[in-house]
């Protein structure tokens, strides 16, 4: 939050993705609230977390113009694992659910869902380098401890998905899944629109993998969230904006307004 608070309005507007017409958040208010988080009960911390993420970035219209019917909505890891109380709970995840539902309803059959699949147990990760250390740290979240059901998509999003449009992944980026990567490549989408959790982890990794593959990437700023307010804010203000010609930031309302399912534009060639 210090980095954000020390940023001037001028530097915030310098990116090609953000112009002077988009109001920057009151960073001093956000920073002031942040200083009191440590002394707050869990419930109030949860409420504050959601408030600060709402203040963090508004987004605006799509810089690349209309999104056509070949675009895909990629909903990242909106699972019970992250949206129910537990070690990986993302308090703001439930807050973004209505926006994701609206985008899913608009996208129709153009929705795609990813799921982060934890290891069955620590022994399963033997020979997988730091992932074995990772699950020694998070052994309580292995499937032997928590069961497989908690890895399911949140019930409110189930009506929008199907088995052929759910993709399991074992690492941060969805493109680490050969099935997902090939499925996306075969459809040659004109754009990938990202929502989900977490802004600074699996969303970030998946978006950057998509950038590497040449896809047009759009992040719905009011439909991504993180358990870390600082990291969420830093990504929206300082990381994604560094890729201004490849990553667009916009609100769900703006995306829906400019996603015309009857219009077809030229899709990029993915050799």
* Tens digits of residue pLDDT in 215-232: 999 999 999 999 999 999
Q: H-type helices in the chain, by residue range?
A: 2-5, 9-12, 27-34, 42-56, 80-83, 91-107, 130-137, 143-146, 178-187, 202-212, 229-234, 252-258
Compute the half-sphere exposure of residue 86: CA atoms within 13 Å on the CB side of its CA. Answer: 16
pLDDT at 213: 98
pLDDT at 263: 53
**What pLDDT does residue 63 have?**
81
pLDDT, position 66: 87
The low-confidence residues of the chain, meaning pLDDT below 50, are: 1-31, 33, 37-38, 42, 45, 49-50, 52-56, 266-271
pLDDT for 64:
84
Give the residue extent of every domain in the chain: 2-258
Cα dihedral 45/227/142/177 (nearest 10): 160
Q: What pLDDT does residue 124 have?
A: 96
Give the three-state DSSP class for 17.
Answer: coil
Helix (H) or strand (E) holding 109: none
Predicted confidence at residue 24, as pLDDT, reads 40
* Nearest in space to 259 (alpha carbons), one of 176, 195, 191, 197: 191
How far is it, in rounded angstroms, from Cα 175 to Cα 244? 21
> From the CA atom positions of the chain, what is the Rg in Å?
18
Architecture in CATH for domain 2-258: 3-Layer(aba) Sandwich (3.40)
Report how far residue 101's alpha carbon sits from residue 97's, in angstroms, rounded to the nearest whole number.
6
């Amino acid at each position: 939050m210090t980095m954000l608070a020390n940023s001037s309005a001028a530097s915030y507007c310098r990116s090609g993705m953000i112009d002077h017409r988009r109001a920057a958040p009151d960073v001093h208010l956000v920073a002031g609230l942040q200083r009191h988080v440590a002394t707050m009960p869990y419930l109030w911390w949860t409420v504050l977390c959601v408030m600060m993420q709402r203040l963090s970035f508004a987004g605006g219209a799509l810089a690349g113009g209309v999104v056509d019917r070949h675009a895909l909505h990629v909903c990242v890891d909106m699972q019970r694992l992250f949206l129910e109380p537990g070690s990986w709970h993302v308090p703001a995840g439930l807050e973004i659910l209505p926006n994701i539902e609206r985008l899913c309803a608009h996208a129709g059959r153009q929705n795609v869902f990813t799921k982060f699949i934890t290891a069955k147990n620590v022994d399963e990760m033997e020979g997988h380098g730091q992932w074995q250390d990772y699950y020694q740290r998070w052994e309580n979240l292995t499937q032997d401890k928590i069961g497989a059901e908690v890895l399911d998509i949140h019930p409110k999003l189930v009506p929008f998905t199907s088995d052929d449009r759910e993709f399991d992944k074992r690492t941060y980026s969805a493109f680490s899944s050969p099935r997902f990567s090939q499925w996306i490549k075969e459809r040659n989408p004109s754009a990938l629109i990202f929502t989900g959790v977490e802004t600074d982890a699996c969303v970030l990794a998946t978006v950057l993998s998509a950038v590497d593959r040449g896809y047009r990437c759009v992040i719905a700023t009011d439909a991504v969230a993180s358990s870390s307010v600082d990291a969420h804010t830093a990504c929206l203000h300082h990381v994604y904006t560094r890729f201004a010609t490849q990553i667009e930031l916009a609100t769900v309302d703006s995306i829906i307004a400019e996603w015309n399912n009857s219009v077809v534009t030229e899709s990029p060639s993915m050799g």
